[in-house]
């Protein structure tokens, strides 16, 4: 018989983790904000916040846990969940589920794999997912924003227009990916329309508290905040599996080794992680390593699993 999970003092745990990683947050050389998106480059890399939401919706936080930041690639998880909920498993005919081993914006694999991206969390794969969501809903970015408002319980969530414009102005690589996949028939909407929704999707601002709450359906085996079912238990399990193997760019093996949880990072410095059946976490610290993951964020999640013994292994 499965035993009841042991109660944890999440607030005391967060305060200890924040103290443990404080030196990494303060060290200028421990990571740098994303320089290729000007609106992100200006963010102070010494910011740090972390939140935990348990499955019943109680939230605990430390540091800048209520400070909104640019979610960037973290939204790929929610877009994938919506696309699967609305359109089912036919999505997987257009995007794979394997780690890429290449940078998140790489063009290399697409040509010899006939325009089918390796997974939904590299940029090419996320473009395919957003394209699918646009076909299913007619307004992918707005549908995603409304979903996040409902799941986080925060109706004030919004797009950051400055970040979206910055993404668009420096989005030539994403445009190249989209047009290349369109040449193989793997994109169905006009590429300019797709890119607009993709850039706005990545420009949603949320706090650690918002993201931890919004991701709870992955810890609740597919159940939304209102108790309705978004995904089957199997679909939620599979999204968590793809997060574990593909969610932190080409450092997913290192993340699984150090943290041992399904996670999804973004170049805004945020990382969402899931303890199935127990809780969701979000950590934010804008200083990134060379692979685009938050240095202090990964360290904080590693401390969480080490101190609690909670992981999927």
Residues involved in catalysis: 73, 76, 198, 249, 267
Residue the block writes with tokens 């093996």:
253
d(C-alpha 162, C-alpha 35), whole Å: 15
d(C-alpha 19, C-alpha 5), whole Å: 26
Task: Report angle CA 240, 242, 244 to the nearest 5 degrees.
Answer: 70
| Alpha helices (H) in 187-232, listed in sequence order | 191-202, 208-214, 216-219
Closest to 74 in 3D by CA, of 233, 273, 298: 273
Instruction: For residue 307, count other CB atoms closer than 10 A to its CB.
Output: 13
d(C-alpha 220, C-alpha 239), whole Å: 13
Query: Which pairs from 153-158 meet CB under 8 Å and 24+ separation?
Result: 153/57, 153/213, 153/225, 154/206, 154/210, 154/213, 157/204, 157/205, 157/206, 157/210, 158/204, 158/205
d(C-alpha 31, C-alpha 291), whole Å: 10
d(C-alpha 297, C-alpha 165), whole Å: 27
Contacts of 83 (CB under 8 A, 6+ apart): 91, 129, 132, 133, 136
């Amino acid at each position: 018989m499965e035993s009841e999970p042991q109660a944890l003092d999440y607030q005391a745990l967060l305060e200890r983790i924040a103290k443990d990683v404080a030196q990494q947050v303060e060290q200028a050389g421990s990571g740098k904000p994303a320089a290729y998106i000007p609106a992100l480059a200006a963010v102070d890399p010494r910011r740090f916040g972390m939140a935990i939401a348990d499955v019943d919706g109680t939230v605990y936080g430390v540091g800048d846990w209520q400070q909104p930041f640019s979610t960037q690639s973290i939204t790929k998880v929610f877009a994938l969940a919506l696309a699967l909920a609305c359109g089912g498993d036919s999505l997987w005919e257009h995007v794979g589920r394997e780690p890429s081993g290449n940078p998140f914006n790489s063009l290399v694999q697409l040509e010899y794999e006939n325009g089918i991206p390796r997974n939904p969390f590299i940029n090419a794969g996320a473009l395919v997912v957003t394209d699918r969501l646009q076909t299913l809903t007619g307004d992918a970015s707005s549908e995603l924003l409304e979903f996040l408002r409902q799941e986080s319980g925060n109706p004030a969530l919004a797009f950051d227009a400055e970040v979206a414009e910055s993404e668009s102005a420096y989005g030539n690589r994403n445009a190249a990916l989209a047009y290349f996949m369109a040449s193989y028939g793997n994109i169905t909407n006009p590429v300019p329309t797709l890119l607009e929704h993709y850039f706005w999707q990545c420009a949603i601002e949320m706090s650690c508290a918002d993201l931890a709450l919004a991701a709870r359906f992955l810890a609740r085996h597919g159940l939304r905040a209102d108790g309705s079912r978004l995904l089957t238990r199997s679909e939620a399990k599979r999204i968590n599996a793809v997060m574990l193997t593909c969610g932190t760019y080409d450092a997913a093996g290192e993340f699984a080794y150090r943290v041992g949880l399904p996670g999804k990072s973004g170049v805004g410095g945020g990382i969402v992680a899931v303890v199935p059946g127990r809780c969701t976490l979000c950590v934010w610290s804008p200083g990134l390593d060379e692979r685009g993951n938050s240095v202090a964020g990964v360290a904080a999640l590693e401390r969480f699993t080490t101190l609690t013994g909670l992981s999927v292994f």
